[in-house]
Every structure is written in C-alpha cells, then in structure tokens.
Amino acid sequence: MITRRNKKLALLLAMMLILSIFAGCGGGTEEEQQPVGEKATIPVGINVELSGAVASYGSNARDGAVLAIEEINAAGGVLGQQLEGLQRDCKSTADEAMSVSAALVGENIVAQLGPLTSGDVAGSTPIMMDNKIPLIAPAATAANVTVDEKTGETRAYIFRVCFIDPFQGTLMAQFAADNLKAKTAAIYADTSSDYGKGLAAYFKQTFIEKGGTIIAEEGFVSGDRDFNATLTKIKGSNPDFIYVPGYYQEVAPLIKQARELNITAPIGGGDGWDSPDMLSVAGAEALNNTFFTNHYSSQDTDPQVVAFVEAFKAKYDKEPDAFAALGYDCAQLLVQAIKDANSTDPQKITDALANIKDFVGVTGKMTIDEQHNPIKAGVVIEFKDGAQTVNTRIQP
C-alpha cells in the first residue's frame, strides 16, 4: 500500500521535473525564433543576470537589448545580416559570468552585452581580454571596470554606456550645495552594493569640499523594507538634505516612510531611482522635493525616447526603467560600431567602439573617451506631483 502510493508520488514528481525542463526549453527557444535571414547571422552574446540577487535589473536590460535587436533586424539588419542575440544567465555571480562568457566565445560572438553589475563584469573581463572580443556594459558604474587601477591602463576591450560613480555623486553634491543651498547633509546609502557605496563616497567628498558637513552616515541593504528606525534617527539630526544612493526597490518605500515620519527635507539619489515603481510605491505627494541624477527620463519628450518607450510598452506591457534603456543603448551602440567598422571582426568593432563620437542613444548623446567611458550630459530630475521634470541639465 505504502509502496504503491510512493510510486504514484514518484511518478508525479518525476513528471513535474520533466515538465519543468520542458518549460525551461520553452523559455529558451524564444531566442531561436528570431527571424533568420538567408545569410549567416551575426551572433551577439547577451550575458546578463536572469536569476539571483539582481535578476530584475538583468532581465530588464535583456528586454531592452532584445527589443533593439528586433528593431534592427526588422529594419534589414546590419551590413545586410541579421543579428542573433544569444541570451545566457550569469546567475548574478562573477564566476558564472566568466563561465558564460567563455561559452559565448565558443559560439563565435562578435561582442558581448552585459552583465549589469560591476562585479559580474569583472568576472567576465579576463575572458573578453584573452579572446580580444569587446564587452559593452550597460550599468557597471565602478570606476575600475574599464581601467586597471594597478597599472592605470584602460582595459582595451571593455566599454560601457552608463555614468561612472564619481560623476553622479559629485553632480548631486554640487546640486545640493549650490542649487538647494544645503549646509548639512545626511547620507543613507545602500551599503550592500558598490554602486551605493561609490556614489555616497563621491558625494561626501564633494559636499565637504563645498563647505558642507555630513552629519549622519547610515546604511541599508538590498531587500530591506523597513527604514523607520534609521529615518527617525536621521530626523533627530535634522539635516538640510538627505542623500539616498540606492536602487528603487528600497528607495521608494524609504521615501514614503520618511514623509510619513514628517521628514520634509529634500531627498536626492542617482539613476538607480529611475523606475515607474517609484511613483506607484511612494506616491506623488511623498516624491515632491526629491531629486535624482540621471541620463534620461522616460517622461522625456524627445521623439527617439518617446518611440522607445512606446515600442517597449507594446512589446512587454510595462514601462522601461533605466536598465532597459541602457540595455537598448548597448545594442544600438554595438550596431553603430559594426556599421562604422564595416565589418563583424571583433577587433575592428573594438576599434570602432573606441572612436564612437556623438552617438545618439535613448539615454543621451555620447562620445566614448579614452578610458572607454561615455561622455554624456547629465540631468537632475525633480519629481513634481508625480511627474519627472528636468530641473538642471549639465553638459559635460
């Protein structure tokens, strides 16, 4: 009796296992369904975080990149060939990023887009350098991603389309001191990411140089949802400005709780804030008097941005966040480089990438400098009754 029931259960569980494998295959075959022209395709590696801690950033950037590739293919591809995006999951770990890159290199990719975090890009870096294939990072902001800090040399095959930490931290410090006339500031940073810590460090440096004082330095970690205790403490020190570098998942409830505690001081942050969830979680009222540095706004009226937002919504039924926009730009930048190089040879693409000038992406016009960072305009965006409005534009 018992054994019979066990057998039934075994069958059930085995079926679940098989089904789940099929479901997985179902997800995997999507990428193969892209229209393939008669000519050979150009394989492009998309090595992003689809599971693990930062899966939501990775999958948004992937969505952006895939959208770009589809648009390019629909418009006839590049050099008469279709692009083929090879999506792989690096599980939000650096060792998997390395292993995935090696596997992608084995599939003769001409370039790799992703991963998202600086750490995962670092894992991928040695493989790309060894094989002399370019990597375009959508959102890796740490200064040492494209430059070897020990030797000061630029990593020849690593590029990015996002700001670096010093730029944003400095920008917000200047804005707080000059525009908001803040004398004292509290920093409440995401200490579980290099992004949050990096921005906080450069903000602090510039703000002190500007004659301000940092009166409180606190931290939260990714996944936190309750910030009341630390906010109450910050409220006690009564700062003129609160700097909250982190990602929107934590920042949105944080701002809401701050306002619920009657903290009225202006709050500022970086591009990690950019998500439609900010408004739906925190609410329009709480977001008044908050500012963040960014390269783009999904509310922008620029026709290229509007077209991107429309296409993204039509395909995925959601608003694109900053990661989606950066992923989109990565793919577009690569296509530009392939066109410039008039070749799909990775070395020639790399040379073309290093010489990109005035490329117009949805996150702004960019020129790649000698350290492989994009020089592009920054904006300080202010929330006004729920709408993102550009407060200050800063040209490089």
Partner 1 sequence: MLEFSQQMINGLSLGAIYALIALGYTMVYGIIKLINFAHGDIMMVGAYVGFFSITLLGTNIVVAMLVAMIFCAALGVIMEKIAYRPLRNSTRIAALITAIGLSLFLEYITVVILGPAQKVFPASAFPVKVYNIAGLSILNKQIFVFVSAVLLMLILQYIIKRTKTGKAMRAVSLDQEAAVLMGISVDRTISITFAIGSALAAAAGVMIGVYYQTINPLMGIIPGLKAFVAAVLGGIGLIPGAMVGGFVMGLLETMVSGYGNSLYRDAVAFGVLIIILLIKPTGLFGKNTGEKV
Partner 2 sequence: MQEKSKSWLKFLSEVILLVLLFTLVQYALSAGLVNQSYQITLTSMCINVILAVSLNLINGFTGQLSLGHAGFMAVGAYASVIITNFMDLPFIIGILGGCLAAGIAGFVVGVPTLRLKGDYLAIATLAFGEIIRVVLQNIDYVNGPAGIVGITKLTTWSWLYWAAILTILVIVNLMNSSYGRAIVSIREDEVASELMGINTTGYKVLAFVIGAMFAGLAGVLYAHYFYIIKPETFNFLKSFDMLVMVVLGGLGSTTGAVIAAIFITFLTLALQKYAAMRMVIYSLILIIVMIYRPQGLMGTKELSRKTFARIWGGKK
Residue 260 contact among partner 2, partner 1, none, beta carbon within 5 to 8 Å by kind: partner 1
Under the binding rule (CB under 8 A), the answer on residue 126 touching partner 2 is: yes
Distance, C-alpha 110 to centroid of its chain: 22
Residue 99 contact among partner 1, partner 2, none, beta carbon within 5 to 8 Å by kind: partner 2
**Residue 306 three-state SS:** helix
Q: Name 260's bridge partners.
A: none
Under the binding rule (CB under 8 A), the answer on residue 99 touching partner 2 is: yes
**CB-wise, 56 or 205, nearer to partner 1?**
56
Site for partner 2 in 139-158 (CB under 8 A): 142, 144, 148-150
Under the binding rule (CB under 8 A), the answer on residue 220 touching partner 1 is: yes
Site for partner 2 in 185-214 (CB under 8 A): 191-194, 197-198
Under the binding rule (CB under 8 A), the answer on residue 99 touching partner 1 is: no
**CB-wise, 43 or 283, nearer to partner 1?**
283
Residue span 160-199 as binding mask against partner 1, x where in contact by CB under 8 A, dash where not: -------------------------------x--------
- Which range touches partner 2 (CB under 8 A), out of 73-81, 99-107, 263-271, 285-293? 99-107
Q: Tokens 């920093």 appear where?
A: 187
Distance, C-alpha 146 to centroid of its chain: 16
Under the binding rule (CB under 8 A), the answer on residue 236 touching partner 1 is: yes
For the chain, report the end-to-end CA distance as a whole number of angstroms. Answer: 77
Structure tokens at 170: 């400095």
DSSP annotation of 153 reads: P
Q: Which own/partner pairs from 226-230 qualify as long-range (CB within 8 Å, at least 24 positions apart)?
A: 226/257, 227/188, 227/253, 227/254, 227/257, 227/258, 228/257, 228/261, 230/188
Structure tokens at 233: 């403490």
Q: Tell me whether the omega of the peptide bond preceding residue 115 falls within 30 degrees of 0, making it cis.
A: yes
- Which range touches partner 2 (CB under 8 A), out of 10-18, 175-183, 281-289, 300-308? 10-18
Q: Identify the residue among 64, 114, 115, 123 touching partner 2 (CB under 8 A).
A: 123
DSSP string, 37-105: -SSPPEEEEEEE--SSTTHHHHHHHHHHHHHHHHHHHHTT-BTTB-EEEEEEE-TT-HHHHHHHHHHHH
Q: Identify the residue among 65, 69, 78, 94 touching partner 2 (CB under 8 A).
A: 94
- Which range touches partner 2 (CB under 8 A), out of 5-13, 205-213, 225-233, 376-384? 5-13
Q: Which residues bind partner 1 (CB under 8 A)?
A: 6, 9, 12-13, 20, 23-24, 27, 50-51, 55-56, 59-60, 191, 218-221, 223, 225-226, 228-230, 232-233, 235-236, 249, 252-253, 256, 260-262, 277, 280-281, 283
